[in-house]
């Protein structure tokens, strides 16, 4: 296999154990097993724009300037693309200058990356911070295979078209040879947008033709390394169930993000305690919420709301011996998480929208097959497509989630074992290693691109005009039917 060059916003030390982000976890797992280069932002803000290449660790990073951090990172990436892709157009802030900063950072990073590339490299770009980097690399003459994986959902086409630059972005997607999305619903949404919002059409082999370029779109759900979470036989990790008279732990592990449905989760637990008062003193919700993007206003709002909800619920139900919500607002080392998952009777994973959600898979993998806990999972997490033997819930429906908490705690051992075995089968088949290997194999073998003068000569560094949009279709049937041709799920 040729060398793989990963491009992602944050670059972590692959050997460090505290990563509170799915993208870094997935890439670290791959690089622990294979040689490659990881390129992206150093995490530093430095107006000198120094370029650091650590050849020993195969990591190359650049800092952002203060203005880039504000406009590219906090601005376009996290205040436009993140909310829109999670179908929260209401939270998006379409400020002047954000997109220009985003495009400029992608251009600057592309120029730095070109000097590190060799002809056989396969380039794999991750996530929404670097959508336009492939187009910039093409303009610099790079003809290597370039793949893109979107870790977050792709929204319905009408939401995506709320982004003023949606046509430019369609053209930027077209610079990739292969685009991977988490769920089949994301593939359907993207194809619907390209066909009806961006003037693309589908080729007989299922690839999309966008302008003069051709690109494959597949559903490639990201997995975990289940062996990392395998339960030990340590007697300290015996699970305590309510029905044996002990306290049952319900666990939630999320970044503190408005997409994760944390206030709704707290309200559901409140509802559970009020409708089943016999479980007061016998159930605890432990919510580990890692701080994230605290400079974005919407994140402060969610934090204040959660603190107030936790205070109110603990004040109403708690006593000297028992506090119902154990709320931890910090990142926890991964090895500690394994124990916490394993000792919890219920995994409560209820995002309002999520590309995949690795915590759901980690919780299942950490269970003791002889006495497993029960996963409650939002139908709006990409993971719900694969983990259909979890208790699937609508996270907005507080009563339904509350009822599922009760069902999970009361579930018989044979049913828990049967559901766990079925979930584990899926998790062990679709591991992080298989995901990366399958994506890279598909990228290496995907069809040759239509030749483009700018790619070969590097002379044309300007953006071609964006394609003309068709009027949005009144029905998306054509796009959805086409999806099934492309829908290769690993
Ligand atoms: P995230 O939104 O970051 O990732 P998720 O899939 O849950 O969400 O992954 C989080 C990872 O960070 C997990 O490995 C988890 O163990 C860890 N983590 C979370 N909270 C933590 C905490 N408080 N302390 C320590 N570790 C914590 C994005 C998309 C997801 C997609 C992933 C991977 O938003 O939908 O599943 O990428 O593609």
Three-state SS annotation for 150-173: CCCCCCCHHHHCCCCCHHHHHHHH
How many angstroms does the Cα of residue 96 sit away from the middle of ligand 1?
Answer: 31
Buried/exposed 213-237: b ≥16 CB within 10 Å, e otherwise:
bbbbbbbbbbbbbbeebebeeeeeb
Residue 186 burial (10 A CB sphere; 0-12, 13-18, 19+): buried
> Does 292 contact ligand 1 (Cβ within 6 A)?
no
Q: Is residue 278 part of a domain?
A: yes
Higher per-residue pLDDT: 358 or 453: 358
d(CA 389, CA 425): 11
Domain boundary among 397, 413, 429: 429
Reading the block at residue 322, the tokens are 């028992």
283 and 155 fall within a common domain: no
What would the pLDDT profile of 144-173 be if each residue is shown by its tens digit? 999 999 999 999 999 999 999 999 999 999
Q: Indicate whether residue 416 lines ligand 1 (CB < 6 A).
A: no
Are both 411 and 445 inside the same structural domain? no
Say how far apart CA 387 and CA 408 lie, in whole Å: 16
Q: Return the minimum-mean-pLDDT range out of 341-355, 370-384, 446-460.
A: 446-460
Annotated active-site residue 354? The verdict is: yes
Which position among 19, 151, 276, 430 bears the catalytic label? Answer: 151
CB–CB of 152/131 below 8 Å?
A: no
**Domain co-membership, 180 together with 266:** no
pLDDT at 219: 97
| Two tokens, residue 237 | 């990790």
Q: Does the beta carbon of 354 lie inside 6 Å of ligand 1?
A: yes
Q: 408 and 471: one domain?
A: no
Evaluate if residue 261 carries a pLDDT over 90: yes
pLDDT of residue 199: 96
- Same-domain check for residues 317 and 463: no
pTM of the model: 0.90
Smallest CA-to-CA distance from 41 within 17, 77, 2, 16 is with: 77
Size (the chain), residues: 490
Is residue 454 predicted with pLDDT exceeding 50?
no
Q: What is the DSSP letter of 257?
A: -
pLDDT tops 70 at residue 236: no
Q: Are 191 and 217 in contact (CB under 8 A)?
A: yes
Asked if residue 341 belongs to a domain, the reply is yes
Which distant-in-sequence residues (6+ apart) come within 8 Å of 42 by Cβ?
A: 11, 52, 61, 62, 63
> Residue 489: its pLDDT value, please?
44
Are 29 and 87 in the same domain?
yes
pLDDT at 464: 47
Bridge-based pairing state of the strands 346-349 and 122-126: unpaired
Number of domains in the chain: 2
Bridge partners for 217 per DSSP: 179
Nearest-angstrom CA–CA distance, 335 and 348: 19
Q: How confident is the model at residue 234 (pLDDT cuts 50, 70, 90)?
A: low
DSSP 309-347: HHHHHHHHH--SS--SEEEE-S---HHHHHHHHHT-SEE
Q: How far, in Å, is the centroid of ligand 1 from the Cα of 206?
A: 32
Residue 209 counted as domain residue: yes
Residue 101 lies in a domain: yes
Q: Do residues 341 and 452 share a domain?
A: no
Rounded to the nearest whole angstrom, what is the distance from the C-alpha of residue 353 to the centroid of ligand 1? Answer: 13
Mean pLDDT over 189-194 rounds to 98
Report the CATH number at residue 233: 3.40.50.2000
**27 pLDDT more than 90:** no
Write the pLDDT tens digit of every residue in 365-407.
999 999 999 999 999 999 999 999 999 999 999 999 999 999 9
CA quadruple 71, 74, 77, 79: dihedral sign: negative
Q: Which of 257, 354, 389, 430 is catalytic?
A: 354
Which range marks the domain in which residue 95 is found? 4-223+432-476
pLDDT, average across residues 302-328 = 95
pLDDT of residue 301: 85
Q: What is the pLDDT of residue 458?
A: 35
Give me the helices (H) in 198-282, please: 262-275
The pLDDT of residue 367 = 95
**Is 122 in the same domain as 36?**
yes
Average pLDDT on 243-262 reads 88
How far apart are the C-alpha atoms of 4 and 22, rounded to whole Å?
Answer: 19
Long-range contact pairs involving 226-230 (C-beta distance under 8 Å, separation at least 24): 226/361, 226/365, 226/424, 226/427, 226/428, 226/431, 228/334, 228/338, 228/365, 229/338, 229/341, 229/362, 229/365, 229/366, 230/365, 230/366
Edge to edge, the sheet with strand 374-378 lists: 325-328, 283-290, 248-255, 346-349, 374-378, 391-393
**Judgement on whether residues 32 and 112 belong to the same structural domain of the protein:** yes
Predicted local distance difference test score (pLDDT) of residue 56? 61
Residue 455: which pLDDT band, with cuts at 50, 70 and 90?
very low
Model confidence band, residue 433 (pLDDT cutoffs 50, 70, 90): confident
Tens of pLDDT along 75-119?
999 999 999 999 999 999 999 999 999 999 999 999 999 999 999
Give the pLDDT confidence of 53-65 residue by residue, as tens digits.
Answer: 766 668 899 999 9
224 ligand 1 Cβ < 6 A = no
The answer to whether the CB of 288 is under 6 A from ligand 1 is: yes
State phi, psi for 192 to the nearest 5 degrees.
-60, -45
Query: What's the mean pLDDT when you consider all of the chain?
Result: 87
Same domain, 237 and 170: no
> What pLDDT is attached to residue 275?
97
Tell me, yes or no, whether 289 lies in a domain: yes
Q: Is 233 helix (H, G, I), strand (E, B) or coil?
A: coil
Quick one: 309 and 450 in the same domain?
no
How far apart (Å, rounded) are the C-alpha atoms in residues 56 and 282? 51
Question: Is the per-residue pLDDT at 453 higher than 60?
Answer: no
Instruction: Let me know if residue 487 belongs to a domain.
Output: no
User: Residue 276: which pLDDT band, with cuts at 50, 70 and 90?
Assistant: very high
d(CA 56, CA 87): 41
* Ligand 1 pocket mutation pick from 186, 347, 358 by most atoms within 8 angstroms of CB: 358
**% the chain with pLDDT above 70:** 84
Atom of ligand 1 nearest to the CA of 358: 6
Nearest to residue 220, comparing CAs of 356, 358, 84, 81?
Answer: 356
CA of 146 to the centre of ligand 1 (A): 25
The angle subtended at Cα 37 by Cα 113 and Cα 357, nearest 5°, is: 105
358 lines ligand 1 (CB under 6 A): yes
Confidence of residue 245 (pLDDT cuts 50, 70, 90): low
Domain identity same for 309 and 274: yes
Q: Which of 7-16, 93-102, 226-235, 373-382 has the lowest mean pLDDT?
A: 226-235
Cα angle: 479, vertex 148, 350; to 5 degrees: 75
Beta pairing class for 213-219 and 208-210: antiparallel
Alpha-carbon distances of 257 from 88, 236, 378, rounded to whole Å: 12, 32, 15
pLDDT confidence of residue 457: 31
- The answer to whether residue 485 sits within a structural domain is no
pLDDT higher than threshold 80 for residue 29: no
Please, which pLDDT band fits residue 333 given cuts at 50, 70 and 90? confident
The answer as to whether 481 is a domain residue is no
């Amino acid at each position: 296999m040729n060398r793989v060059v990963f491009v992602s916003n944050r670059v972590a030390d692959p050997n460090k154990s505290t990563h509170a982000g799915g993208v870094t976890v997935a890439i670290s797992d791959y690089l622990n097993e294979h040689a490659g280069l990881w390129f992206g932002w150093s995490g530093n803000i430095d107006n000198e724009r120094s370029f650091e290449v650590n050849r020993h660790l195969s990591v190359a990073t650049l800092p952002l300037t203060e203005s880039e951090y504000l406009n590219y990172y906090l601005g376009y990436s996290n205040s436009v693309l993140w909310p829109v892709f999670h179908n929260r157009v209401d939270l998006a802030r379409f400020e002047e200058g954000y997109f220009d900063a985003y495009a400029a950072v992608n251009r600057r990073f592309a120029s730095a990356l070109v000097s590190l590339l060799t002809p056989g490299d396969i380039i794999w770009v991750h996530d929404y911070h670097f959508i336009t980097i492939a187009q910039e690399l093409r303009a610099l003459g790079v003809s290597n295979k370039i793949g893109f994986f979107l870790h977050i959902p792709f929204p319905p086409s009408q939401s995506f078209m709320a982004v003023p630059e949606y046509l430019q972005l369609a053209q930027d997607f077209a610079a990739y040879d292969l685009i991977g999305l988490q769920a089949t619903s994301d593939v359907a949404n993207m194809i619907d947008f390209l066909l009806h919002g961006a003037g693309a059409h589908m080729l007989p082999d299922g690839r999309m033709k966008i302008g003069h370029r051709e690109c494959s779109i597949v559903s490639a759900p990201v997995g975990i390394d289940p062996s990392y979470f395998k339960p030990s036989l340590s007697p300290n990790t015996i699970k305590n169930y309510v029905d044996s008279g002990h306290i049952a732990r319900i666990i939630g592990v999320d970044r503190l993000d408005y997409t994760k449905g944390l206030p709704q989760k707290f309200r559901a637990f409140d509802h559970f305690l009020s409708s089943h008062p016999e479980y007061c003193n016998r159930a605890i919700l432990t919510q580990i919420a890692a701080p994230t993007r605290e400079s974005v206003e919407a994140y402060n709002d969610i934090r204040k709301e959660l603190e107030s909800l936790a205070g109110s619920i603990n004040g109403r139900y708690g006593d000297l011996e028992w506090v119902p919500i154990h709320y931890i607002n910090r990142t926890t080392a991964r090895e500690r998480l394994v124990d916490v998952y394993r000792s919890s009777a219920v995994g409560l994973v209820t995002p309002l929208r999520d590309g995949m959600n690795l915590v759901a898979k980690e919780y299942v993998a950490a269970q003791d097959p002889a006495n497993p806990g029960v996963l409650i999972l939002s139908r709006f997490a990409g993971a719900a497509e694969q983990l259909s033997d979890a208790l699937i819930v609508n996270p907005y429906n507080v009563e339904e989630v509350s009822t599922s908490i009760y069902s999970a705690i009361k579930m018989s051992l044979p049913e828990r074992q049967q559901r766990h075995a079925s979930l584990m089968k899926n998790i062990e088949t679709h591991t992080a290693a298989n995901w990366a290997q399958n994506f890279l194999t598909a990228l290496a073998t995907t069809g040759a691109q239509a030749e483009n003068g700018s790619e070969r000569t590097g002379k044309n560094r300007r953006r071609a005009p964006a394609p003309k949009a068709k009027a949005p279709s009144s029905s998306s049937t054509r796009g959805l039917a086409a999806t099934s041709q492309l829908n290769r799920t690993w």
